[in-house]
Amino acid sequence: MLKVTLPALAVGLISAVAAAQQPPRPDPGLAVYKKANCVGCHKWHGGGGGGYGGDALSLRHTQLTREQIIETVNCGRPGTGMPFHLRGAYDATKCYDSLRAEMGAQMPPEGTAFLRQSEVEAVATYVAESLKGKGEPTLADCTAFFGDTSRACDLYRKETRDGTPAPQQTTH
Amino acid sequence: MTRFSTRCRRALAAGTALALVTAAAQAQAPTQGAAPAPATGQTVDQNRLLKADKEEGNWLLHHKNFGAHRYSTLAQINRDTVKNLKVAWTMHLGGIEGGGIWSHGGLEGTPIVENGMMYVTDGWGSVYKIDTRNGAGKLLWKMDPKTDREWAGAVACCGVNNRGVALWGNQVISHTLDGRLIATDKETGQVAWQRQVADPDKGETITGAPLVVHDMAVSGVGGAEYGIRGWIAATDLKSQKEIWRTHTIPGKGEPGIETWKGPNNAEVSGGGSTWVTGSYDPDTDLIIWGVGNPGPDWDNTYRPGDNLYTDSTVALDAKTGAIKWHFQHTPNDPYDYDSVSENLLVDAGGKKMALEADRNGFAYAVDRTNGQFLWATPFVKKVTWTRGINPDTGKPFEYDPTKDVQRYNPAVTPHPENKVADVCPGNMGGKNWPPTAYHPGTGLWYIPVIESCNRITHETMTTASLKPREFFTGGGPTQPFRITGSVTAIDVNTGKVAAKLETPFPLLGGMLATPDLVFTGEPDGRVMALDAKTLAKMWEFNTGGGVNAPPMTFTVDGKQYLAILVGLGGAWDKWFIDSTPELKSIQAGSMLYVFAL
């Protein structure tokens, strides 16, 4: 009895202390956004845009529902660079009602990481609630993404200091 | 006590186990009293650099000498012995972490060796000093500049790259991707001073090695895909102050501004980056440097005019930075055909020449005293954007000086009425940054070639498209075509292709020439030695990584070694991998290979 209770208590205490000392828990969907390298094409702000890799669509201007975003993350976008993130997609599991052999040249690439369904749901929630429909990125958006350890957000601070409008970021 | 606490602070600041190991190693150094003192205290000055080729066993300058020859006279490894070449030692380096839009860093650097001490960098700009004596590599220190990865990595178009260091006095001079110039004490690895040269807030980054001339560090900048206005800057290494900064896009009232027309003020974001280390001609005291593409890359309608000095070679007065001459290869470029390549400085046929292997697929020779065109030769198998270079003018045959917007071969040129265009060479060019090498005995010039075409999708830009820290490219490439490579040798006396060895992959690493052999590597991991005359393959070793850096050679303890960094990063595995599907299996890595007989 004692043996069981004591460690449980100790764990509980440690957890409580840790929770009290921790900053607000970061959005789990943001963590997945970083882990799956969404930033590699859609950028940190989700605005995507043109460039060396061609166009990545804007997640801020997207019209997709959360359910459609889940499907896109799982299965990728056929015929584009948007990769699939579901382990076994097009092999063990059909995507868009198709298997790999039927996709041919339209087969999307495989993602940097395969995601568990809870992760796919978390990142879809993040895109649907924190990026979709938002206007130009702000200093608060930037620091929420990067924290305070990088100069990546200095551009926004500089503009704010000067009293001039915040810079327009590409969100097309 | 002071020494101890200094070391402690340094170890703590570095915050890595490696630093602790290094500090411990340094602390033990005095106990090795019996060992001969390394001759590393010798300082590096202009006089020594001018005679860099006389120090046969050393590699003091990024391109080996000021003329960018990358030729070593060392010949223990030769036609007869190369079959016995094998790995002597290896060392894992760091810097593969991601940042910004990049999932990992890579290695593109040329090691510098002075009296057995090697200095290399990783993609994030850490500098490693390695003792190569006694047939093994021993890390003496690592200087980690703590590059701001998100700040820089978000505006690096083409990878987490750093191509190496320069030596000056008793310091190691290096750059970081986030735009700093850093001087590190050669003996202790402590940062002596640093200054911000480029500004990532404007989309500026630095990947090239500094060129040290006249006690100045000359820096170039990257960022033509982000709407920068390019420059070359010289920092006085004694006062640590900037001496001059020459913009590659003229300002209001300056010569050349008339080549920027139309309503967009296109010159303020005209590109013209300078991200490859240039050459220096002591006879004329000119710094000869390549200038990159105009921006936006693929929408030349946005920027009517020839767009000087983009896609040009420029010669700067070393003392003042004033532009003494220029030669432009692709006026009003719609293809992203940078002219950033290093210029090879040689004398041939009674001419003092500067040679450049351009992204547009042609190798050019100009008179380096005045920039007058001498000849141009295609060095790739397939060129579709032009019928050729007019031997009288040095301009593409289709170039029409009465027109503000050039279409060249309109069928392969991206423009508003031709939104998807397949063009050869592709936008990585016939040759990218990987350096050429030159054999002074035979006059052969070895070009590491990307035999390529790709597909460009055009996007019309407006001034509203121009935003800080965002791509400003006017479209982008895709890769529906397989890309291969070659080593192509041009005889500088005739201007003709003398030999060509086709390779299954594009050459992303660069060349080294020696009396009997030339060395290079492929991105699938193979390092190879070729016969210097015929280019027949004499030796090959698979490193198991991806070669994205040039080989170099040196001697220590009287023995010749060959060194090369291995770690595929750069632009290829993010933007161009679809053209070389086999390379998708190459893993990120960071490794120094050293070979010996």
Confidence of residue A157 (pLDDT cuts 50, 70, 90): confident
Residue B214 lies in a domain: yes
Residue A117 lies in a domain: yes
On the question of pLDDT at B443 being above 90, the answer is yes
Domain containing residue A36: CATH number: 1.10.760.10
Residue of B nearest to A147 (CA): B150
Which runs of E-coded beta strand occur in B144-255?
166-168, 171-175, 180-185, 191-196, 211-213, 216-220, 231-236, 242-247
On the question of pLDDT at A9 being above 80, the answer is no
A3 to chain B, closest Cα gap in Å: 38
- Host domain of residue A69: 28-135
Chain B residues with CB under 8 Å of A44 CB are 150, 154
CB contact under 8 A, B470 and A146: no
Residue B156 lies in a domain: yes
**What gap in Å lies between CA A60 and CA A131, rounded to an integer?**
5
Residue of B nearest to A112 (CA): B103
The number of domains in chain A is: 1
Chain A residues with CB under 8 Å of B201 CB are 151, 154-155, 158
Which residues, 6 or more positions from B44, have their beta carbon under 8 angstroms from its beta carbon? B60, B114, B167, B168, B169, B212
Confidence of residue B573 (pLDDT cuts 50, 70, 90): confident
Concatenated DSSP letters of B505-518: S---S--EE-SSEE
Residue A74 lies in a domain: yes
On the question of pLDDT at A2 being above 50, the answer is no
**Which of B459, B464, B470 minimises the CB distance to A169?**
B470
Please report which helix (H) or strand (E) contains residue A156, including its range.
helix A154-162
**Which of B101, B103, B200 minimises the CB distance to A112?**
B103
In one-letter notation, the amino acid at residue B553 is T
- Residue A50 contacts B, CB cutoff 8 Å: yes
On the question of pLDDT at B466 being above 60, the answer is yes
Residues of B carrying an active site annotation: 336
- What pLDDT was estimated at residue A12? 44
- Residue A32 contacts B, CB cutoff 8 Å: no
Domain containing residue B522: CATH number: 2.140.10.10
**Which of B103, B150, B474 minimises the CB distance to A37?**
B103
Residue B332 lies in a domain: yes
Entry pTM: 0.88
Residue B342 lies in a domain: yes
- What pLDDT was estimated at residue B162? 98
Interface test with A, best of B101, B226, B463 (most A CBs within 10 A): B101
Percent of chain B with pLDDT over 70: 93
For residue range B263-284, list pLDDT tens digits in order. 999 999 999 999 999 999 999 9
In one-letter notation, the amino acid at residue B18 is L
The number of domains in chain B is: 1
**Which of A39, A53, A167 minimises the CB distance to B476?**
A53
Residue B213 lies in a domain: yes
- Residue A143 contacts B, CB cutoff 8 Å: no
- What pLDDT was estimated at residue A53? 64
Chain B residues with CB under 8 Å of A112 CB are 103
Q: Strands B138-143, B127-131: parallel, antiparallel or unpaired by DSSP?
A: antiparallel
Helix then strand count (H, E) for chain B reads 4, 35
Please report which helix (H) or strand (E) contains residue A144, including its range.
helix A139-146
For residue range B78-113, list pLDDT tens digits in order. 999 999 999 999 999 999 999 999 999 999 999 999
For the segment A8-14, the average pLDDT, to the nearest whole number, is: 44
Chain B residues with CB under 8 Å of A154 CB are 151, 201
Instruction: Report whether B163 belongs to an annotated binding site.
Output: yes
On the question of pLDDT at A158 being above 80, the answer is no
For residue range B493-549, list pLDDT tens digits in order. 999 999 999 999 999 999 999 999 999 999 999 999 999 999 999 999 999 999 999
Residue A87 lies in a domain: yes
Residue B35 lies in a domain: no
Our CA angle for B191, B195, B198, nearest 5°, is 130
Residue B34 lies in a domain: no
- Of the two residues B533 and A166, the one the predictor is more confident about is B533
For residue range B139-180, list pLDDT tens digits in order. 999 999 999 999 999 999 999 999 999 999 999 999 999 999
**What gap in Å lies between CA B427 and CA B413, rounded to an integer?**
12
- What pLDDT was estimated at residue A125? 97
In one-letter notation, the amino acid at residue B566 is V
Residue B135 lies in a domain: yes
- Of the two residues A52 and A123, the one the predictor is more confident about is A123
- What pLDDT was estimated at residue B481? 96
Confidence of residue A22 (pLDDT cuts 50, 70, 90): low
Helix H segments across B372-527? none
- What pLDDT was estimated at residue B543? 98
Residue A52 lies in a domain: yes
- Residue B149 contacts A, CB cutoff 8 Å: yes
- What pLDDT was estimated at residue B369? 97
Read off the tokens for B565.
């960094």
- Of the two residues A14 and B167, the one the predictor is more confident about is B167
CB contact under 8 A, A112 and B468: no
Residue A1 lies in a domain: no
**What gap in Å lies between CA B154 and CA B156, rounded to an integer?**
6
For the segment A94-107, the average pLDDT, to the nearest whole number, is: 94
Residue A151 lies in a domain: no
Mean pLDDT (chain B) is 93
- Host domain of residue B348: 6-29+40-596
B587 to chain A, closest Cα gap in Å: 12
CB contact under 8 A, A167 and B468: yes
For residue range B300-350, list pLDDT tens digits in order. 999 999 999 999 999 999 999 999 999 999 999 999 999 999 999 999 999
- Of the two residues B7 and A121, the one the predictor is more confident about is A121
